[in-house]
Amino acid sequence: MNNNRKMKVGILGGTFDPIHTGHLFIAQTALDEAGLDEVVFVPSGSPPHKKNNEVTNASCRLHMVTEAISANPNFNVSEIDIDNNKTGYTYDLLTLLTERNPEVSFYFIMGADSFMEIKTWYRYDELLTMVGFIVMKRKGYDSEEMDYQTGIFKKTHQARIIILDSPKLEISSSEIRNRIKTNKSIKYLVPEKVEMYIYQKNLYGKD
């Protein structure tokens, strides 16, 4: 056994408004297929693409994530983005994580569509060398262009990129919010503890 082996940790960021079983299944798939030791969920503080009044307050979203992952010893949650209380970039988040945890090899979990737009991200060149990437692609996804781009990044940046087939679960947070507004059940779309919390706090109810 190599005692110098770095711990491999996946980072799954998002608004998680609310967290749902699709998020959990993606995290578990990454954990199993990429040989990760742990997946850390990072709820965003102030998502730059959304107005403050469009997002449930951070403490509620953090609580839902904590409840959702409580039964899985390989899942954890970080308040790092919430604590910074600023609209930032993925670069800022991952810089903080890598600086605070130099003994960890981080892998950022993302979808194939986002990965194909990574050249538009803030300081993407540095991101590609800072952390690894686990890219979840849909089955049947035309991956020829992605495979080409991945090959280029591996050659020019020595990038660590793992391509995985994404679980096919057609669930979205917006769909869950809409179902609540229209008095439809969200059972089995979110963990039971999250469902109970949503109704206790009257989250996403009719205005």
What is the pLDDT confidence band of residue 45, given thresholds at 50, 70 and 90? confident
Query: Does residue 139 carry a pLDDT above 80?
Result: no
Specify which of 3-7, 134-138, 186-190 reaches the highest per-range mean pLDDT: 186-190
Q: Is residue 179 part of a domain?
A: no
Q: Is residue 188 part of a domain?
A: no
- Cα dist. 72→76, 77, 157 in Å? 8, 11, 34
Q: By mean pLDDT, which of 7-16, 31-40, 52-61, 131-140 is the weakest?
A: 52-61
* Phi-psi map region of 205: left, alpha, beta (phi>0 left; psi -120 to 50 alpha): beta
Q: Is residue 202 part of a domain?
A: no
Q: Is residue 200 part of a domain?
A: no
Share of the chain above pLDDT 90, in %: 80
Q: By mean pLDDT, which of 57-66, 105-114, 162-171 is the weakest?
A: 162-171
* pLDDT score recorded for residue 170: 84
Rounded distance, CA 15 to CA 25, Å? 17
Query: Does residue 69 carry a pLDDT above 70?
Result: yes
Q: Are 132 and 162 in contact (CB under 8 A)?
A: yes
Q: Are 19 and 190 in contact (CB under 8 A)?
A: yes
Q: Is residue 183 part of a domain?
A: no
* Predicted confidence (pLDDT) per residue in 16-30, tens digit: 999 999 999 999 999
Buried b (16+ CB within 10 A) or exposed e, 31-62: beebebebbbbbbbbbbeeeeeeebbebebbb
* pLDDT score recorded for residue 1: 41
- CB atoms inside a 10 Å sphere around CB 192: 11
Query: Does residue 48 carry a pLDDT above 90?
Result: no
Q: Based on the structure, what is the number of domains in the chain?
A: 1
Q: What is the CATH number of the domain that holds 124?
A: 3.40.50.620
Q: Are 69 and 41 in contact (CB under 8 A)?
A: yes
Rounded distance, CA 41 to CA 95, Å? 16
Query: Does residue 149 carry a pLDDT above 90?
Result: yes
Q: Is residue 1 part of a domain?
A: no
Q: Is residue 115 part of a domain?
A: yes
Tell me which residue range forms the domain holding 85: 8-168
Q: 47 vs 166, which has greater pLDDT?
A: 166
* Predicted confidence (pLDDT) per residue in 71-126, tens digit: 999 999 999 999 875 557 899 999 999 999 999 999 999 999 999 999 999 999 99
Rounded distance, CA 81 to CA 77, Å? 11
What is the pLDDT confidence band of residue 138, given thresholds at 50, 70 and 90? confident
Rounded distance, CA 90 to CA 125, Å? 12
Q: Is residue 42 part of a domain?
A: yes
Average pLDDT of the chain, as a whole number: 91
